[in-house]
Structure 1
Amino acid sequence: MEMRRLTPDELDDCVRLAKSREWLPERRKWALLFEAGEVYGLLLGGTLVSTTVLTRYGAGYGVISMVLTDPAHARQGLARRLMEYVLEQADGLVLSLTATPNGRPLYERLGFETVGEVTSHVGVFAGEPSGVSRAATAADLEPILALDRELFEADRGVLLRRLPDLHDPLRVIERDGRVAAFGGVWDTGDQLVGGPVVTRDPEAAMALLADLLAGTAKPVRLDLDTRQTEVCAWAEAHGVQPGFSTKLMVRGGALPGVRPSLVTSYNVALG
């Protein structure tokens, strides 16, 4: 048995493992995780059978994701061993993750506590653009980073600097000449994932989402904290219906961020 940090050359092995669990392959997302995070693997006889990803945001906070084990090796304690190894690498960080019902007992045993719930809303968006937002420009990047540091309360710059390359469209709302909200859409091929959407009020969030999603024929997925009651109701009224839910869990301290302002995550693997 070998546990270690994987290299980008092993991306295909991660995709294969995801497919074995009937997850979408999402090569683009795996590539971003290798670039922005730390991808760890457990190998048996040289074959990758389990993964966990740690993405650090500054010196105090990180997100755990992509906890996968080959079904042929399920229920052998491999995911727990790898998680314990990754927790050692995290070295005292406050950590969060989103947990399915199957994964939640493991995370509880490892010291994670439930602090919220995220529901994935999926459907074809049926609505008109608000006209309130505008397309982001290169000059907006630093104001976006500043707003996110204030409201996320940790530094996601390693990800947000990739927004113009990976999110199309990327839009902002200005108030009094300053960026007051920003949001993007991630195209996975099969659907559009809305996020991140960061704003000071739900009205701006809904206006921004309407401009991001109007006119697309692809299914849309919005991973919304259930405490975002106004945005959740708005999504349902526009054809994006609630589906499966996961628990938002944290270990090692309080979850950072002004949560009402963090309408959707970058994606659930990255916080």
Structure 2
Amino acid sequence: MPDRTLDAPTADGVVLRPMTTDDLPFAHALSAQMRWPHRPADFAQSFSHAEGIVVESDGEIVGTAQRWRWGARHATIGLVIVAPACQGRRIGHRLMSALLEGLDEHTVLLHATPEGRALYERLGFVRTGELRQHQGIAQPAPLVALRPGWRLRPAGLNEASALQALDAAARGMPRDALIADLLGSADACVVLDQDNAPRGFAMLRRFGRGHAIGPVVAPDAQGAKAMIAHLVSQNAGHFTRIDIDVASGLAEWLEGSGLPGVDAPTTMVRGTPLAVTPEGPALFAIVTQAMG
């Protein structure tokens, strides 16, 4: 992590320093103050792929944030938290400035709350889209018919490389370590198969108040719906969350499936736009709002 701005107290006594695993309980406690649903295990899993910054004031942790580098040219930023009592002191700006050090040549992605959007715009981020967070108690979903030659099947651990390639093509950045981690820890991973070749996949995993579905990568909305319906039915009776790209066109279908929309963060990018292949697979649901 760049350290030019770290470990030197500012005029108001605020100190920024690199985050360590010992800081995760404090980061989780801050998220609870914000009524975020993350479990300690969610923070541990995300930080295993991240670099982080901690803000201290009078020896107390009052802010945290993380960034994830994906390959040589891409990064995401998330879990930016400032204690409510310390907001208005430009701590969020200092956190973001520290996280952006060394990323001038990177495409940087984040998902902004309405409160954070103005700050991110001042730092060079531009709006590129919108997410829609859907959640609720999952109900059995009707099966979605697939075309001849297409089927759903469980993923195998030996096909991590195929799923990593699908994710990279859909997200526009390589996230091999993350996809391998999720594949190994997910409760379920279903593959959309065409004539014995994987064309998409979706995961169901523990997160927050219950389970999350994501990422969901598919060549079209019909394939995405088939995988989501399968996982929603598998998780029937349990709290289920999915964060979709509004442009995916799945919002109304999810509402009708008993998962209402509850939030709509703004997708923002700094740097070169994400390069995705128009004829390739699309990312219908993200991993998390932090990691993208």
Q: 1:16, 1:25 within 8 Å by CA — same for their partners in 2?
A: no
- State how 1:1-271 maps to structure 2 within 5 Å: 1-126=14-139, 127-130=141-144, 132-188=151-207, 190-215=209-234, 216-229=236-249, 231-258=250-277, 261-271=282-292
1:130, distance to aligned residue in structure 2 (A): 4.7
Matched residues, number: 270
1:118, distance to aligned residue in structure 2 (A): 0.7
Which of structure 1's runs of 4+ aligned residues deviate more than 6 A? none
Query: Which AA in structure 2 matches 1:177?
Result: N
Describe the shift of the 1:113–1:240 C-alpha distance in structure 2 as closer, same or farther (beyond 3 A). Answer: same
Query: Which AA in structure 2 matches 1:204?
Result: G
Query: Which AA in structure 2 matches 1:70?
Result: A
TM-score by length of 1: 0.93
SS of residue in 1 equivalent to 2:35: coil
SS of residue in 2 equivalent to 1:211: helix
Larger Rg: 2
Q: Distance in 1 between matches of 2:208 and 2:166?
A: 29
Describe the shift of the 1:35–1:110 C-alpha distance in structure 2 as closer, same or farther (beyond 3 A). Answer: same
Q: Deviations over 1:126-164 (max 9, x none)?
A: 313458411111222121112222332321011001123
SS of residue in 1 equivalent to 2:67: strand
Q: Distance in 1 between matches of 2:27 and 2:164?
A: 30
Q: 1:163, 1:170 within 8 Å by CA — same for their partners in 2?
A: no
Q: 1:197, 1:265 within 8 Å by CA — same for their partners in 2?
A: yes
> Which blocks of at least 5 consecutive residues in structure 1 are unaligned?
none
Task: Percent identity, please.
Answer: 29
Describe the shift of the 1:151–1:29 C-alpha distance in structure 2 as closer, same or farther (beyond 3 A). Answer: same
Q: Deviations over 1:224-270 (max 9, x none)?
A: 111111x2222122111122111101111213335871001111111
Structural RMSD (CA): 1.8
TM-score by length of 2: 0.87
Q: Distance in 2 between matches of 1:234 and 1:70?
A: 37
